[in-house]
Amino acid sequence: MKITFKTIFSAITYIFILLGCYFLIKKIPSFTPPVILVIKYSSYVIFGLGITLSIRFNRGRVFLIILLLTLSQLFLDHYSELSINITTYSQVLYPVMCLLIPLNIVTISHLKERGLFSLWGKIRITLIAIQLFVIYKITVSNNSSIQKVLNYKFINLPLEKTIMNQTALLIFFLTLIFFIIKAYVKNSVFEVRLVGVIISVFTALFFINDKISFSIFLSAAGLMLIISIIEDSYSMAYLDELTGIPSRRALRENLMKLGNKYVIAMIDIDFFKKFNDKYGHDVGDDVLKLVASNLVQVTGGGKAFRYGGEEFTILFPGKSINDVIPHLENLREQVSKSGYTRKSSKAQSSKSKSQNSSQLFVTISIGVCEKNSTYKYPSDVIKGADKALYRAKKKGRNCVSK
């Protein structure tokens, strides 16, 4: 299983956030009362910012999680104003909330983005509100049977300082394991974020009697979700949705950073339109992803971008044409040998296994140009690379031309 740098970086970031929370709590005794007051209510500020950003960037799942955490904290902080006494709070409200939060986060993680204020979005928001209303009714009913079920002990644990029930401990543990496994299997950054969120929320609820620690760790969960919005927004703006490599917008920004010596290569998949028409757009998309996965492995200090359609661009800062030609030749050969396995349709399932799938191969043509007295600006160098690409196609394709 290949773990990407982005996944590792996200995990490290969230570890540092949690460590920061720990050291902040250690420093609390040295803070003045006004600073402590700000820290106590910081989670609401962070949640408010997260809700604003999630609405602005239409991140439905993050919005629902932050909304859930905000309403849960309001319930737990102001239970007395809802005519709930301390015994009922500790025996019913708090245990139920400890179950509600992780189970809802798991559910929300499986939802597809359907828009915040679409019909689906409104239904999801309403369901969270209904859950909290039902919890409130259960709490004020003060049913002794419900209290017994919520506080049932499976085994004796040395956790007398917390009022968190054993069922909630088990649910949190299973939720954490679930997201860790899912993050590893899918190599999903979103699941890595949720691992951090679950740890933060658990720690906050575990130390519920210390309102400062409670607020700090909820703030950490909110901060992790805000970071996820920023990361997703960056990916949408600068990464190509299909192939996952930097897009044309990212290319434009990188062109502005080039120095006085560089090479630009333009790459085109040979006969891609015919290939697409013959095998269909789904297979065509898979082939684009296959080619892109090879391009990002280019050596020689090159960086690949999707230019548009079946065209790609590679920048080589600080290089000359003679420097990069061997690397592009290796890349061309690597792509030509990377077969795509096309599975047969169900209608062909009665045929032999050797006929049920086929290897498809594509080739690429590459045009290369470097900055010189004729091609002074990046736009000129791209045009020069385009002319070289045209020459490569005239030579018979599957070659590098300069």
Residue 130 lies in a domain: yes
Q: Is residue 351 part of a domain?
A: no
- Average pLDDT along the chain, 402 residues, taken 10 residues at a time: 62 88 91 92 95 91 94 90 85 90 94 83 91 89 77 66 78 94 82 92 92 94 92 85 90 90 94 85 88 92 92 94 93 88 55 55 92 90 94 91 88
Phi first, then psi: give them for residue 304, nearest 5 degrees.
Answer: -95, 145
* Residues 158, 300 share a domain: no
In a domain, 400, yes or no: no
- How far out from the chain centre does Cα 96 lie? 29
Confidence (pLDDT) at 351 = 45
The CATH number covering residue 290 comes to 3.30.70.270
- Structural domain ending residue among the three candidates 214, 238, 262: 238
- Is residue 398 within 8 Å of 363, Cβ to Cβ? yes
Query: 208 Cβ partners below 8 Å, 6+ apart?
Result: 76, 94, 162, 163, 164, 214
Which structural domain, as residue segments, surrounds residue 73? 5-238
Q: Is residue 299 part of a domain?
A: yes
One domain, residues 45 and 139: yes
Q: What is the pLDDT of residue 312?
A: 95
Cα(259)–Cα(249) distance, rounded to whole angstroms?
Answer: 19
Of the residues 216, 238, 260, which one is the last residue of a structural domain?
238
Same domain, 224 and 311: no
Say yes or no: 176 and 260 in one domain. Answer: no
**Whether the predicted model's global pTM rises above the 0.95 cut:** no
Match 């897009």 to its residue by tokens: 247
pLDDT at 345: 52
Using an 8 Å Cβ cutoff, are 108 and 66 in contact?
no
Number of domains the chain is built from: 2
Place of tokens 């996820």: 228
What is d(CA 57, CA 53) in angstroms, rounded to the nearest whole number? 6
Q: Among 316, 358, 361, which residue's Cα sits nearest to residue 334?
A: 361
What pLDDT shows up at residue 99? Answer: 92
Angle, CA 53 vertex, CA 37 and CA 213 arms, to 5°: 30
Residue that is last in its domain, among 218, 238, 258: 238
Residue with tokens 């919890």: 135
Instruction: Using alpha carbons, select from 130, 132, 127 the residue that is nearest to residue 108.
Output: 127
- Co-location of 219 and 188 in the same domain: yes
Q: What's the confidence (pLDDT) of residue 157?
A: 61
| Contact by Cβ (8 Å): 63, 54 | yes
Cα distance between residue 367 and residue 377, in whole Å: 17
User: Do both 67 and 135 map to the same domain?
Assistant: yes
Q: Is 156 found in the same domain as 57?
A: yes
Residues 135 and 218 in one domain: yes
Q: Would you say residue 349 lies in a domain?
A: no
Residue 115 sits in the same domain as residue 38: yes
| CA-closest candidate to residue 24, choices 5, 38, 13 | 38
Instruction: Judge if 210 and 62 occupy the same domain.
Output: yes
Please indicate, yes or no, whether residues 273 and 328 belong to a single structural domain of this protein. yes
Query: Are 29 and 48 members of one domain?
Result: yes
Coil, helix or strand for 220?
Answer: helix
